Structure formats: structure tokens, C-alpha cells
Chains A and B, each alone.
Chain A
């Protein structure tokens, strides 16, 4: 019964809502009502209740259709309009010799603090990895002059010394980045793996908006991918197929990968000796199990000698031990040599 008022209220509200859905009829002039009101003077709101044009309102010109110029094909293909080539004065600093630092930024595109941080990271990477990572920082809207042949430079500068991965990184436009490997490891790391490494690094970079943060993410991911390249060099099959290209990547994971690279030789040794070790272990376990099985099934026999009966015993001569367990204070060690001499065998 206590729900009755609420039910009633609900019914009323529902009915009201249904009623509200029907539009109320528009008001209409009754016969001569309008004429009477007009004869009296001003009718409030009369201007709204008629279809006649509002007096004194300026006539609106007809709206012309917007004419928007369609994008040109080159605008669709190119997100960025390349402004210029790298200034000639910077070319020697870029391409004259093998870079002294892992981070090459003669134009000063990175702020000093960012440059220091990135260079520090690359140094750290080099200390923990067998593959160095060289990064050329180029403006996002810049182009490398056509007379510079990147492949030839890589061949010339990076044929000797430690293996290296060289990245031309376009600041603010990481999708334009290019990666090259030094000739010593080009054959070992497939082009597909190089492409995947670059793609995943670019995707990581695009998680950030600021160019400085983009390059940081890019380098961290590239460092991780270089770790996988090291594993390939060690003879391990590329596990990059199982490695997600876009995964949550943090600096700590990069550091872990770099630390693992320290023990690359150990991993290589383990890989080489895994199968022989497994075979040896299996053989050992098999031999051990077989030996144990044989021992369990073994039957032992004693040669039978004619023993002269003693002490009148037909079957036994009573040479055996006796032990007392009456007290823990009398351990077995104190009960040795208790057999009377006359019971000993001559």
C-alpha cells in the first residue's frame, strides 16, 4: 500500500509526458477579433504572427556557393613543403669525415640541453652495445643535397671499426628518417628487420608532439631494436616477428636491453652449446635412470662356504651386536666393543 502514491504519481507523470508530446494548436484569430484590435491600435507581437515581410529590414543578398580550390596532387602526396637543402657551410661538418660524436648536429637544431641528453644516451648505448648508433640531426624541412651520396659515405666511414647503425633523423619529421647499417652487419640484418626497426622507432616518436621529445623516443626505440639486431648477429633467429612494433616502450626497458647486450658473448656461447649440453644432459639422465633401474632390479648372491659350526650352534654362532636404547645418555658410540671375547670368531 505504501507504494500506491508513488505509482499514482508515476501514472500522472507518464500521462503528462504523453500529452506534452502533442504540439499545442497555434492560436488563430477569431472572427473580426483582429480587425477590432487593429482598429484600436497596436497589436503586440503582430509582426511575428504574420507572413508579411518585416518592414524596414534590409533585403539579404542571396548567398553564393563557396568556391574552394581543390588540393593539388603534389600537396596531397607531400605533407611538408621542403624549404631548402642543408646549407653548404654545414656540409663538411656533416659529411666530411666519420663523426667524432654519436650525435651530429652542426646546425644546432637541438637545444644545448637536449643535445647533451641525447648524446649522453647514445654514449651509454655505445658502452653497452656492440653496435654503435650514430645520429645525424637534420631539419624537418631540409633535404640532403643530391651530391651527397649516403650509401657511399657509409661505405667510406663505417667499413672499419665497430659495427654501427647510422640514422639520418629529420627533426620534427621523424617519418622521413633513414637508417643505414655499416657494411659488416648489413648482410646479417635483413632489410625487412631494418625497416621494422625504423617503423617502430618512428611510431614511438609520434607518440610525442615536441620534436625534442620525439627524437628521444625515437632513439630509445632504435636502441632496443639494435639490441634485437645484436641477437641476430649472435646467430639467433629474428624474434622481431613476435616483438610488437608498437608496444609501451620506456627508458627502463631500453636500459635493460642495453644491459643484456653486455652479456652478448655469453648468450652466443649458450646458444652454441645449448644443443650439445641438452644432448649430454639427456644422455646423463638416461644413463642415471637406467643405472638406477638396474640397481633396483639387481639380485645379489653370496658364495657359499663351508663354515665350521661353533658353540654348538647348528645354524648360527651368535656373533652379533646388542644395543641398548634405554637412555639417550648412552649413545651407540659408547656401546661399541661390547662383545665378549669368547664369542668372537678365532
Chain B
């Protein structure tokens, strides 16, 4: 990964709530931790991590979030919950930017626009430096989206499965073409297998 070259290829051990920038006061920490636990309680498969810190002017917020979620080992997350089930919110109070990335488990269910909507809810709070309030607002909106997507996935799981399987099928098709597949023979449609 290019991000490894920039941020390092070593595993990073952090806690789910890491306030390196020191923007959360004691009471704020408790409130934010309660909000994070609520997400974990309601969605037992996933967890939320929050990192605040200065990334410097040259750092790319999206790239850093991507790198951190892939390289970090969260000390206070059970081992049975891999980082694929994580949602990481990164806040840089110096450059005044925030990002949200999520693991592969949520890949079929969350879109970039969803994370943008979540962060948008916090915009007004973060403008005023009310970081904890903004984070809680973000988590609340995230909670609503996840509940909605969970219900949709229960009703129609194939809809979400297609999002992640179709690209693989396309790759197979390309490989078959490259390996001398003859167009005269009709291919039976491949069923999606979970």
C-alpha cells in the first residue's frame, strides 16, 4: 500500500477512542464512549473507533483513515471482531477535516454518501469546536442508517450480495475471454453462491 510508505507498515495499537489531539474533555469522553457502546450493543457485529490527531498539511485524510483501519489493532475490541467490522472516524482539529471509513463487512451496506451524510450532521458542531456533540450527532445518524440497511438486508439480502459479487463475476468473465473462450458456445448463467 502507498499508505504504508507514508504512515508506516507496522501494526498500530490504539484504543477505540484515541484522542491524540486532546479535543475531548473528561465528560465528553464519557458521552462519546457511551454513544460508541450503544452502536456496539445495537449492532453486535460491528464497532466504532474514533481517532483525533493532527495529520499535518500534506497528509490525506482519506488515505490516513484507510491506512489506520487496516493497520491498527484495537486493544479494547474483542478478538472475534476483526477490523472488517470497524467504522473509523478520524478528526484532525488542525486542518479541520474529518473522515469516516469502514471495513469490508459493511462494504455492501454503506455507501460513501452515507458516511458523508453522517459527517455532515456534525459539521455545525465542529465549526464551533463542539467535537463531542458533533461525534454524537454523527453516531446517531449512523445508527439510523445501519438499522435501515439491516432491515433491508434481512428482507432482500441478494440485493446487497450482488453489490460485492458482481465485480468478481465480471473478473471471471474477463479471465475466460482472455483464456480463449469461444463465443459460439452459450454459457449458462452462473448462479450467485453465498
Contact = CB atoms under 8 A, between A and B. Distances in A.
Contacts, number: 155
B104 A315 contact: yes
B150 A314 contact: no
Given A305-B160, A315-B84, A300 B167 contact: no
A313 interface: yes
Most chain B beta carbons < 10 A, residue from A313, A345, A346: A313
A95 to B, nearest CB: 81
Contact of A308 (B65, B88, B164): B164
Contact of A315 (B86, B96, B147): B86
A320 B114 CA distance: 9
A311 B168 CA distance: 15
B165 A305 contact: yes
B147 A324 contact: no
A321 B106 contact: no
Determine chain B's interface SS by DSSP, over half rule. Answer: helix
A326 B84 contact: no
A345 B107 contact: yes
Interface in B144-169: 146-147, 149-151, 153, 157, 160-161, 163-165, 167-168
Interface stretch (B16-24, B26-34, B120-128, B182-190): B120-128
20 contacts: A300-B43, A300-B146, A302-B105, A302-B109, A303-B161, A303-B194, A305-B107, A305-B108, A306-B164, A311-B66, A313-B66, A315-B103, A318-B101, A319-B107, A321-B100, A321-B116, A321-B118, A324-B95, A325-B97, A346-B170
Interface string B19-56: 00000000000000000000001111110000000000
A14 to B, nearest CB: 78
Given A307-B108, A322-B97, A299 B44 contact: yes
Contacts of B69: 313, 315-316, 318
A325 B98 contact: yes
B161 A320 contact: no
B179 to A, nearest CB: 19
B61 interface: yes
Interface in A274-302: 298-302
Most chain B beta carbons < 10 A, residue from A306, A307, A311, A344: A307
Given A315-B70, A318-B65, A332-B116, A301 B150 contact: yes
A45 interface: no
A315 B83 contact: yes
A301 B160 CA distance: 14
Which bucket holds chain A's interface residue count? 35 or more
Contacts of A324: 95-97
Q: Ordered nearest first, which 5 A-B pairs have the shortest CB separation?
A: A318-B66, A315-B83, A321-B116, A332-B120, A320-B101
Contacts of A311: 1, 66
A331 to B, nearest CB: 7
B165 to A, nearest CB: 7
A302 B106 contact: yes
Contact of A326 (B62, B97, B150, B163): B97
Given A302-B106, A302-B149, A319 B44 contact: no
Contacts of B150: 300-302
A31 interface: no
B153 A302 contact: yes
B87 to A, nearest CB: 9
Interface in A321-338: 321-328, 331-332, 335-336
Given A302-B149, A345-B163, 17 more contacts: A300-B42, A300-B151, A302-B43, A302-B45, A302-B106, A302-B150, A303-B153, A305-B165, A311-B1, A314-B70, A314-B83, A321-B116, A321-B118, A322-B62, A322-B99, A327-B127, A346-B170
